[in-house]
Structure 1
Amino acid sequence: MVCAIDGTSMSVPNSDPNRGAFYRLHSGDLDSGYLMIRLVTVVACGTRTVIDAVFGSFGVSEIAYAPRLFASLREGMVVLADRNFAVAALIGAIAETKADLLIRGKAGHTMPMIERLSDGSWLSVKGPVVVRVIDAEIVVDTGGAARTVRYRLLTTLTDYRRYPAMELVRLYHQRWEIETAYAELKSSMLGGRVLRARTPAGVEQEVYALLIAYQALRIAIADATLTDPGVTPLRGSFGIAVNTARDQLVHAAGVVAGTSIDLVGKIGAAVLAELLPPRRSRQCPRVVKRALSKHRAKGALDRTNYSSVSISISLCELPGLTSTMAP
């Protein structure tokens, strides 16, 4: 199973009880209008279902919350994560669960080379763990301009014959599924709104309610698409699932099960009737989604989604390498 771990933030009311438990974001002389909580989850990339979750004050970093999720990791899992998780303590803790990892390395971080492998990747160490390092250059052509990005990936999948470097570079792209899951949770379900609870206990209850509702909808989508071997769960529209579920609640339809159980159900039928097209190859510049100030930032921000005409991947060598091999 391929899964991803990452964190996100949610806003809660600035009430007296919440101020004692949560955190207000500071940037220079500016404070955010709302208190913030941090949510960290492990998400299955193939279905976007939540495997485990933890949340609390935004003042605690996501890498501090992450170890509380490792009890849910198992042998046979591959864990994808971004650069924030590329620290020796976390890599060692994930390796102890017997799960494998594929994490983006931090730029410019010096690592010793133990052995150069024939596919261009090489072995190194991160804390107590032997990792395979894959340096790759990705060129995305959008028709008018080309954008080049260099990646360093760290993985415990050290067998280069069984796990070719180019396949692992492509696999890492699935990490974005957890970002899409957060968009579904915060935009499709919450509509970008602030949580309503004005007490820490109420916030906890509300977050769990959101996660439970999200999980139920994602399972309904996955179960429905299983009826067609040619359709993946990621082609099921989460927006259609949310709206269908809301309609059923408003009309109190189907609240009493009949003698014959429809395993697809109304939500699944609605999803299957309007499947999303196969995913297009797109890329979008990383920008701040919500600024602390309501005023327009200085300078132009490019928020355009560009269709990719072509994507080429090649292995290369990035800075930050020290050789420990015998001459």
Structure 2
Amino acid sequence: MTITTVPNRVKILKDKFTKSLGLPFQELLPESEIQKIIDELQIKYRCRLFDPIVTLWAFLSQVLDVDKSCHNAVSRVTAYLANESVEVPSTDTSAYCQARTRLPEKLLKQLFGKVAQSLEEKVTTEYLWCGRNVRVIDGSTVSMPDTVENQKAYPQPTNQKPGCGFPLAKIGVIFSLATGAAVALCIDILNTHDIKLARNLYQFLHPLDILLGDRAFCAYADLVAIKKLDCDAVFRKHQSRTTTMRQGKIVGDCDKLVTWYKPKICPKGLSLDEWVALPPTIIVREIFYYIIIPGFRTQRVSLITTLLDTTTYSSLKLVELYGQRWKVELDLRHLKTTLGMDILRCKTPSMVRKEIYAYLLAYNLLRSLMWLAGTTYGVPPLRLSLQGTRHHLNNFIPQLLATSSTKVEQIYRTLLKVIVHKAIPERPGRSEPRVRKRRPKSYPLMKQPRHEFRRQMQTA
């Protein structure tokens, strides 16, 4: 008769997860680093099957899988223990769901930041722009289950009737242009302006960083705040400001230095003290250029930047840099569409935030795998497919678990080699119409809560 204990099963699961998910990410997310943050946060937990480390790995495997149900995650854990001389746990999801609830949000937040920082430290000079790190900022929304708690924390759009919509959260994310990794995150309610999210993200910038963004972030106070951090900004000019070449000092073709003046009235997003503290003027650089690529709706673009050195940062380089701003849209699409973060599954606000951090942590770990594969085999990491990387990782996990310890490294090297086979071709100026070919089902839209529909069906 075999005597089993929970610690034995926990050790087995840790070994399994380390060998499957942990091996590709061993440099950025080893078990020792997770345990270190657990100790720093003074997280207390009892001796359970789903301790914080096992729960975290199961959570990551859940968001990386196509089937993101808790039942599938628990089934995976059960399968890991099936061939061991231990008691197989129950397939009920209650223990795992409670373990995720106990998992502190700070743990996921710090792990996300740690992985992003570790990946950025691997960036060499050849991947920088003019010797500097470029960060790209943008905002988006995510949907979540329609529960009372979620509606209270992240209300649905006001133009939708109660019971007919879903709660939406607004997220602001800063990505690294060199690695494609997410380096900072902010979560707020739907009607939050992008610039408010950005002001909560400036704290994650490092000296000499360049922040790249669209016209929503181009405000006087924000340019001043970014310069105070010893950083620079490249934004598209906001549409409320008039564009003219008559004012300013011309320093090149369609390139001039302009003096901007402090707003006469305190903007809504600033306190009176913050507005008073603003300098009376700042000098910015304004660059005009035209887009003549068929399919692009914008014909004339005006850039505003605090990079005043025309020798080091030529207008052509800045125009090319702003052309790469579109990559942030692709990064958000990877998170929301490729990984499935567009529609979250958790039913409470705290779990929603944890789920978002889990997605970004998994996304950064995939980016780290792409970076390692690309730099190992001489392929630009950003040219690799994130979807292909996820497919290869999920398909190689059973092989990593089944093989002997002597062949694990060989299979791991094979994984890196096949990842670089999925390179995305260069497609400059590519444009696709935003249309759908497949027709939706001919069901009417929900215009009243579901319980009212049921009542009408019963009385009909």
User: Is there any run of 5+ residues in structure 1 with no aligned partner, and where?
Assistant: 289-293, 297-327
Pick aligned residue for 2:284 from 118, 131, 143: 131
Q: What residue in structure 1 maps to residue 423 of structure 2?
A: 275
CA drift at 1:225: 0.5
Q: Alpha carbons of 1:155 and 1:200: their partners in 2 closer, same or farther (altered >3 Å)? A: same
Counterparts of 1:1-327 in structure 2, within 5 Å, are: 1-27=133-159, 33-107=165-239, 109-110=241-242, 113-126=247-260, 127=262, 128=279, 129-141=282-294, 149-190=299-340, 192=342, 194-229=343-378, 231-249=379-397, 251=398, 253-254=400-401, 258=405, 261=409, 265=413, 267-284=415-432
Q: Which runs of 5+ in 2 are unaligned?
A: 1-132, 263-278, 437-442, 446-460
Check the 8 A contact 1:22/1:59 in 2, yes or no: no
Note closer, same or farther for the CA distance 1:140–1:221 as it changes in structure 2 (3 Å cut).
same
- Sort the Cα spacing of 1:279 and 1:253 in 2 relative to 1 into closer, same or farther, 3 A: same
Cα contact 2:136–2:325 (8 A) shared by 1 = yes
Distance 1:148 1:39 in 2: 26
Give aligned-pair identity as a percent: 27
* CA displacement at 1:152 relative to structure 2: 0.7
Determine if contact 1:7/1:41 at 8 Å carries over to the other structure. yes
1:40: how far off?
0.8
Structure 1 stretch 130-139 or stretch 263-272: which is displaced more? 263-272
State how far apart, in whole Å, the 2-side matches of 1:96 and 1:257 are.
Answer: 55
Q: Which has the higher strand share?
A: 1
Q: Which runs of 4+ in 1 moved over 6 A?
A: 28-32
Query: Whole-Å Cα distance in 2 between the matches of residues 88 and 73 of structure 1?
Result: 18
After TM superposition, give the deviation of residue 216 of structure 1 in Å: 0.2
Query: 1:7: Cα distance to partner?
Result: 0.6
CA-atom RMSD in angstroms: 3.0
With the length of structure 2 as denominator, give the TM-score of the two structures: 0.56
- The worse-fitting range, judged by mean Cα deviation, of 273-282 and 77-86 is 273-282
User: 2:259·2:284 contact (CA, 8 Å) conserved in 1?
Assistant: yes
Tell me which residue corresponds to 2:126. none
**Retained in 1: the 8 A contact 2:142–2:169?**
yes
Between the aligned partners of 1:280 and 1:30, the Cα distance in structure 2 is 44
SS at match of 1:154: strand
CA deviations over 1:176-198 (Å, ceiling 9, x no partner): 11110111111111175x21111
Contact 2:377–2:420 at 8 Å: present in 1 too? no
Shift, 1:283, TM fit: 2.6
How many pairs are equivalent? 285
| Residue range with higher mean Cα deviation, 157-166 or 7-16 | 157-166
